[in-house]
């Protein structure tokens, strides 16, 4: 090997001398180089060059720089010859300095290599210059002595420019230069030669050099000024010749300033520049504190994680899977193979090395730990707290370890600015790791005692400072359970989560069992037993093949992921998926994702058990119940604070907050695809199992086929009709769910950080994201103070629920009968339309009849599929409700990326349909009090959808007038007058009728204990936030921010205004306006008005109106298209007149997002409670996952390495920003209600509480809305966006894209003006929430 290196080095030296000899020739090198159009490229490769390609990286390649210099010198010669030739053509251009500019980049971030096309004359000129360079040099000397009228003109223009600059200096008394323009022919500071795409002929010699020398020390404003006044030519040429800039030239032509500008134009431009300079000055002041406290290493790490996040995630998950499966050798080989190759080593971070350090620490092999530290140093990384933790743990496990070695380790930590206290408080420990670390520390420092920090910092937002500081009058609610009952419930919940699945009775069990049903059930049970054996054998064989496959060590494979669980557990997951597969089939990608997620959930729970977390969790939860139980003392701490205190006191042993890595989306899908492949290939059934007349042969029960979704062809897994028939006829009595689908049997674990909370063991994300998106987690990790957000989620999760059993029984009876579409109870498939089967080759049918029958068959199949989906959804919800009928349960909560909260159980929760909301009531009851019964009656009228324009008193009077119907509905819901069935929300209305009947029949209604939740709904809540932001008086009045005697209905107001427009157009003879007479109602325009504030477009609004018009039987269907087009224009016009301030704010948000995303960055902001939000909309990239079944095309739209999707970013910013505000308002209300002892839950902008406490909740709701909008929300948003997107930019970026930078800065700083609306009026508005 050494000899090969020496030979290669000697040949390299020979090549250098050969190269230097060839450079003497001006045109080309006959061995390896040629000059073509000013570029150096390789034309041939001799054997010595091929050897140099394999040249050892240990010997520095010093020749590369020399080659570049020589190549550039040749290029300069050619360019000089080109200049001289051009001088000979135009006779009067003086030779000047040649400045090299970077070639323009393509939109994808890589050099495009595509400059402007050269003309045929230019190509001929360059060829001529290569052949006759010496002659032209002699010829050019003759022209240098000739008089030059062009140079005289240039001199005159230079004088004019200097005079203009002096004039501007006198005007603004500052050294403000000229604004750069994009003109290429008439610019007075430069002369653009034809064909000079990548070079600039400048008449000034020292401006560029001066700018380069001073760039590092000048202020930002000075850099802008220098770029404007001195580098006009360079900026102009680069912008003019770039493809992007040439497109932008047309858009920005209005902003270009002609050379003969007036004084007023110059003053306006000077004013703009002065404004930009002032903004930059303020920005520097605001950013100085932020940059001084920021950790640059952490910021750099976050940037690195964004770029390489998916790759690092895949490596981490693979290593952890190998370690958990006990395959340490495979993990070590894989890491070393990644480390050996420099290109792969760059993708590794310190966390990946720490995984193997932890393994060697468990084994007590200190020499392996030392080797890992050497690898870390070779990778250019620094050991972190986790690295030193592994080293100390290893030393603690070695009883013979010298205290001197431990002391050296601790000293090295101090040199790296790492402390032992931080290590013990921030590192995540498993099993006895913490005890081993302390043993090692005590060996070197016997008197050391870890510092326990039991105090937590409070949220810095001024909105909640009083909530955390002034607690004297707080009355935190208790649960109606004793401590022992809560501990017993914890044990039951823990057992359910450890089992990962739960099997419950189906509500269809009430049907009588027929002989055929019993036969089908026995057949299915027998077949499933056979399928389990077949799958188990196939899985074992496939694992043996994977284990023996000879693949390179650095290649990832699925084998470790198939060793995480017992083989039978994988089989159980596959059998469960077969049982849940719909008759119409499922997309392969979705089915694979669900399978992979189930395996990950089981693995995560097993990992926590392996790390000995369960016992410690039980001890802490047992102590935590003292805060919640009714038989314990009162506490003045919040659940999060109490849990944090208990965890600090129980510091010994493993950390409850796990550090397991979330599997990458592609790994989850790949593992699931592998399991689906096993199922398709091995699960078979006899073809004659239902009909003995058929020939017996084994046929697959699952088919892999392809179908079209829109214009894309997707893989599909469909069950065989025999299997579908068996399952439908069996009507099985059991349903199996994942444990996280069920409500919790005990109060959830409080969220104490972004990674720990909700379920006991099941992994749960604080923020819901798209599969594979990681940017939200990175933002949350950087955010140190989310206490108000976490506490509000804990408050929502601590609300106990129970089932309204009488109402549930009525719903189940209708469900098991024939369903009812009117009452939103899906009918069984026996009620589905029959699919028409016909022979397409039958000559008795005409082509038109065949086409008609084909359309009808497609409609019938679609209807059957929809009915099955709805039926199964209702079956799941009702079965879960029936299973929990005698239980008290809880819904843990998390949130989406905008901050909107959701219950974690997906099927059965209070955010569901009318049916699921109706069967849920509060577990804790409270007396109605003096006004509770009135609120129940008003709530009932609200549920009917009647009297929306009536006052509260009018609604109450209406309820009293129909008391007979209310009592009849409660007593005879299915056989009486059935008044309740005509309500908008019939099942909730029936439940309210029953509650009112029980209350009025009680001895004293004021003492009647009610569990029924009463709702208070915001009046078009999105427009309420817009009106408050803009202080818009007209808009605020329309959405009930202003006190009124009767509620203002914005939907009716818009409908009335649209009707006025229609009458006007009908009088002018417009046909469609005449057709619409009598059809414009509140219902037609409501959905469009409601969603305009959330970003609906005219196209989407037209579809909404079209759907409403089709529901009107009397409306002529041939005019639906024209009518929807006409109405959507009128609705938007009406809203624009009514909500002028809203439109201005919406436009400002949209334009800001557009410019931000065009600059290549995604839109981010922070809510008033400190929750960071980022819009994860990027350009979609396709990633192909190759498998034995098919290649799956994964469309990834959240990849942070891709450029932002400008359309989605700008369209989504206004609605997402408003959603973040309404979630903030809800969280503030939740916290204040909790401190007042109220039961409170929400469905976004609909707040629920007991009838007794409605007035208190209303007061809190209004006060928090006023407090929220009393903050300078838009101004703070402007400051944040300016700091985020206009500060800290490199000077090169600002100079290169100065126009975009200036436009963005001026736009973000120009906050929309507000009106004169007084926010305090909201406190007295009865119908703000009603």
Asked if 1192 and 1184 count as a contact pair (C-beta separation under 8 A), the reply is yes
Phi, psi at residue 617, to the nearest 5°?
Answer: -60, -40
CB atoms < 10 A from the CB of 49, how many? 15
Cα 475 from Cα 461, distance rounded (Å): 22
- Name residue, tokens 């399952």: 727
- C-alpha 1157/C-alpha 1220 separation (Å) is 20
Quote the tokens at residue 782.
């950087």
- The 3-class secondary structure across 1213-1275, one letter per residue, is HHHHHHHHHHHHHHHHHHHHHHHCCCCCEEECCEEEEEHHHHHHHHHHHHHHHHHHHCCCHHH
- As beta bridge partners, residue 1166 has 1172
Closest CA to 315 of 346, 271, 278, 283: 346
The Cβ-side half-sphere exposure at 113, using a 13 Å CA radius, reads: 3
Distance CA 1184, CA 593 (A): 15
3-state secondary structure of 497: helix
DSSP H or E run through 736: strand 734-738
Residue 1314 tokens read as: 């507000």
Contact (CB, 8 A) for 10 and 48: no
Q: Give the other-Cβ count within 10 Å of 469's Cβ.
A: 8
Which among 166, 165, 242, 158 is positioned nearest to 202, based on CA atoms? 158
Partners of residue 1191 on adjacent β-strands: 1186
Tell me how far apart the alpha carbons of residues 617 and 78 are, in angstroms, rounded to a whole number. 76
Residue 902 DSSP symbol? E
List the structure tokens of 549. 């496959």
Distance between CA atoms of residues 85 and 11, nearest Å: 40
CA 47 to mean position of chain CA atoms: 53
How far from each other are the two terminal CA atoms of the chain, in whole angstroms? 84
Report the distance separating Cα 307 and Cα 669, nearest Å. 22
Phi, psi of 686 (to 5 degrees): -75, 135
Which helix (H) or strand (E) segment holds residue 1087: the answer is helix 1082-1092
d(CA 440, CA 438): 5
Q: Residues of 85-124 as b/e, b for ≥16 C-beta within 10 angstroms?
A: bbbeeeeebeebebbeeebbeeeeeeeeeeeeebeeebee
3-state secondary structure of 170: helix
Cα–Cα separations (whole angstroms), residue 97 to 88, 139, 671, 940, 1324: 17, 19, 62, 85, 74
Map 309-371 to HEC letters. HHHHHHHHHHHHHHHHHCCHHHHHHHHHHHHHCHHHHCCCCHHHHHHHHHHHHHHCCHHHHHH
* Separation CA 618–CA 609 (nearest Å): 12
Positions marked catalytic:
1017, 1086, 1245
The C-alpha atoms of residue 1296 and residue 234 are separated, in whole angstroms, by 10
Among residues 642, 574, 647, the alpha carbon closest in space to that of 616 is found at: 647
Contact indicator for 479, 490 with CB cutoff of 8 Å: no
Specify whether the CB–CB gap between 428 and 406 falls below 8 A: no
* Residues 108/167, Cβ–Cβ less than 8 Å: no
Whole-number Å distance between alpha carbons of 816 and 831: 12
């Amino acid at each position: 090997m050494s000899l090969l290196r020496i030979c290669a080095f000697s040949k390299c030296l020979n090549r250098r001398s050969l190269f230097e000899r060839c450079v003497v020739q001006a045109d080309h090198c006959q061995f390896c180089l040629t000059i073509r159009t000013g570029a150096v490229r390789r034309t041939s490769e001799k054997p010595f060059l091929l050897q140099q390609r394999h040249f050892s990286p240990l010997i520095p390649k010093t020749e590369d720089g020399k080659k570049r210099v020589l190549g550039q010198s040749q290029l300069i010669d050619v360019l000089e010859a080109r200049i001289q030739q051009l001088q000979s053509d135009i006779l009067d251009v003086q030779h000047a300095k040649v400045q090299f500019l970077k070639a323009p980049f393509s939109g994808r971030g890589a050099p495009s290599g595509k400059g402007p096309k050269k003309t045929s004359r230019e190509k001929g000129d360059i060829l001529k210059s290569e052949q006759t360079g010496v002659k032209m040099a002699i010829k050019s000397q003759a022209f240098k002595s000739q008089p030059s009228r062009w140079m005289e003109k240039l001199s005159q223009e230079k004088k004019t420019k200097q005079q203009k600059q002096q004039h501007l200096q006198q005007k603004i008394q500052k050294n403000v230069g000229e604004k750069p323009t994009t003109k290429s022919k008439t610019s007075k500071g430069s002369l653009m030669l034809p064909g000079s795409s990548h070079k600039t002929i400048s008449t000034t010699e020292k401006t560029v050099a001066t700018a380069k020398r001073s760039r590092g020390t000048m202020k930002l404003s000075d850099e802008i000024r220098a770029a404007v006044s001195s580098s006009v030519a360079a900026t102009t040429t680069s912008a003019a010749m770039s493809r992007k800039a040439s497109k932008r030239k047309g858009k920005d032509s209005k902003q270009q300033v002609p050379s003969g500008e007036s004084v007023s134009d110059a003053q306006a431009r000077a004013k703009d520049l002065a404004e930009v300079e002032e903004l930059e000055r303020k920005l520097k002041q605001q950013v100085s504190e932020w940059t001084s406290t920021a950790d640059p290493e952490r910021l750099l790490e976050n940037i690195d994680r964004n770029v390489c996040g998916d790759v690092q995630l895949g490596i981490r998950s693979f290593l952890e899977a190998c370690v958990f499966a006990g395959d340490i050798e495979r993990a070590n080989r894989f890491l070393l193979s990644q480390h050996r190759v420099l290109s792969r080593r760059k993708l590794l971070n310190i966390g990946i090395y720490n995984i193997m350090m932890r393994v060697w620490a468990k084994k007590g092999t200190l020499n392996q730990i030392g080797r890992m530290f050497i690898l870390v140093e070779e990778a250019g990384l620094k050991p972190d707290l986790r690295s030193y933790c592994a080293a100390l743990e290893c030393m603690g496990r070695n009883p013979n370890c010298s205290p001197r070695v431990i002391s050296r380790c601790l000293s090295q930590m101090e040199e790296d600015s790492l402390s032992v206290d931080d290590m013990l408080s921030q590192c995540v420990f498993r099993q006895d790791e913490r005890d081993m670390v302390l043993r090692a520390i005590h060996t070197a420092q016997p008197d050391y005692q870890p510092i326990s920090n039991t105090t937590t910092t409070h949220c810095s937002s001024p909105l909640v400072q009083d909530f955390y500081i002034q607690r004297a009058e707080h009355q935190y609610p208790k649960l109606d359970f004793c401590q022992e009952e809560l501990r017993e419930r914890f044990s039951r919940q823990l057992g359910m989560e450890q089992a990962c699945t739960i099997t419950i009775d189906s509500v269809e069990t009430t049907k009588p069992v027929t002989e055929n049903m019993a036969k089908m059930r026995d057949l299915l049970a027998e077949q499933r037993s056979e399928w389990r054996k077949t799958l188990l054998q196939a899985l074992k064989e496939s694992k043996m093949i994977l284990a023996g496959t000879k693949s390179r060590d650095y290649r990832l494979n699925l084998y470790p992921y198939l060793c995480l669980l017992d083989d039978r557990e994988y089989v159980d997951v596959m059998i469960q998926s077969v049982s849940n597969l719909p008759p119409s089939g499922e997309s392969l990608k979705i089915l694979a994702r669900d399978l992979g997620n189930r395996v990950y959930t089981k693995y995560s729970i097993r990992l926590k058990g392996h790390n000995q977390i369960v016992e410690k969790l039980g001890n802490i939860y047992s102590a935590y119940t003292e805060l919640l139980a009714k038989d314990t003392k009162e506490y003045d701490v919040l659940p999060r604070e109490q849990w944090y205190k208990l965890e600090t006191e129980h510091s010994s042993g493993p950390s409850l907050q796990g550090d397991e890595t979330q599997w990458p989306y592609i790994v989850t899908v790949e593992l699931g695809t592998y399991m689906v492949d096993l199922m398709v290939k091995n699960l078979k059934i006899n073809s004659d199992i239902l009909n003995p007349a058929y020939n017996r042969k084994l046929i697959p029960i699952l088919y892999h086929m392809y179908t079209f979704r829109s214009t894309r062809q997707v893989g599909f897994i469909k069950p065989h009709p025999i299997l579908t028939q068996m399952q439908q006829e069996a009507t099985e009595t059991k349903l199996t769910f994942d444990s996280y689908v069920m409500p919790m049997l005990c109060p959830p674990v409080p969220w104490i950080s972004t990674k720990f909370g909700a379920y006991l063991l099941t992994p749960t994300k604080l923020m819901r994201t798209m599969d594979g998106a990681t940017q939200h987690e990175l933002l949350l990790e950087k955010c140190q103070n989310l206490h108000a957000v976490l506490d509000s989620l804990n408050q929502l999760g601590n609300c106990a629920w129970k089932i309204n059993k009488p109402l549930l029984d009525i719903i189940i009876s209708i469900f098991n009968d024939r369903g009812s579409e009117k009452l939103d109870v899906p009918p069984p498939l026996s009620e589905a339309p029959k699919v028409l089967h016909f022979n397409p080759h039958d000559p008795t049918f005409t082509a038109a009849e065949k086409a008609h029958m084909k359309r009808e068959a497609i409609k019938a199949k679609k209807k059957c599929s929809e009915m099955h989906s709805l039926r199964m959804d209702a079956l799941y919800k009702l079965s879960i409700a029936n299973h929990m009928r005698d239980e008290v349960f809880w819904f843990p909560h998390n949130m989406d990326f905008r901050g909107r909260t959701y219950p974690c159980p997906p099927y059965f929760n209070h955010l569901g349909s009318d049916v699921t909301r109706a069967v849920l009531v509060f577990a804790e009851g409270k007396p109605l009090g003096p006004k509770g019964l009135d609120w129940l009656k008003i709530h009932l009228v609200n549920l009917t959808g009647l009297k929306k324009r009536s006052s509260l008193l009018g609604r109450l009077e209406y309820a009293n007038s129909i008391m007979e119907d209310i009592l009849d509905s409660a007593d005879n819901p299915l056989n009486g007058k059935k008044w309740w069935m005509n309500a908008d929300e019939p099942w909730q209305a029936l439940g309210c009728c029953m509650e009112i009947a029980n209350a009025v029949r009680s001895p004293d209604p004021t003492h009647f204990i009610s569990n029924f939740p009463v709702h208070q709904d915001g009046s078009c809540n999105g427009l309420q936030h817009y009106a408050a932001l803009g202080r818009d008086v007209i808009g605020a009045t329309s959405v009930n921010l202003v006190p009124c005697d009767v509620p203002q209905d914005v939907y009716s107001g818009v409908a009335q205004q649209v009707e006025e427009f229609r009458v006007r157009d009908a009088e002018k003879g417009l046909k469609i306006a005449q057709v619409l007479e009598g059809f414009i109602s509140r219902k037609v325009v409501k959905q469009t008005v409601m969603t305009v504030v959330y970003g609906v477009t005219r196209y989407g609004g037209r579809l909404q109106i079209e759907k409403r018009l089709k529901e009107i039987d009397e409306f002529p269907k041939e005019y639906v298209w024209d009518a929807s087009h006409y109405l959507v224009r009128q609705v938007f016009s009406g809203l624009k007149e009514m909500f002028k301030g809203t439109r201005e704010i919406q436009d400002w948000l949209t334009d800001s997002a557009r410019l931000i995303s065009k600059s290549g960055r995604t839109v981010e902001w922070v809510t008033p409670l400190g929750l960071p939000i980022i819009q994860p909309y990027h350009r979609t990239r396709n990633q192909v996952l190759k498998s034995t079944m098919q290649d799956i095309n994964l469309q990834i739209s959240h990849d942070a390495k891709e450029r932002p999707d400008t359309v989605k970013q700008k369209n989504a910013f206004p609605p997402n920003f408003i959603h973040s505000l309404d979630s903030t308002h809800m969280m503030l209300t939740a916290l204040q209600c909790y401190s007042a002892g109220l039961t409170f839950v929400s469905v976004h902008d609909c707040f629920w509480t007991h009838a007794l406490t409605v007035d208190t909740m209303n007061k809190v709701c209004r006060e928090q809305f006023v407090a929220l909008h009393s903050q300078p929300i838009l101004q703070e948003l402007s400051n944040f966006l300016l700091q985020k997107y206009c500060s800290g930019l490199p000077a090169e970026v600002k100079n290169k894209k100065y126009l975009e930078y200036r436009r963005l800065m001026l736009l973000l700083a120009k906050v929309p003006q507000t009106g004169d609306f007084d926010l305090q009026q909201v406190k007295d508005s009865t119908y703000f929430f009603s």
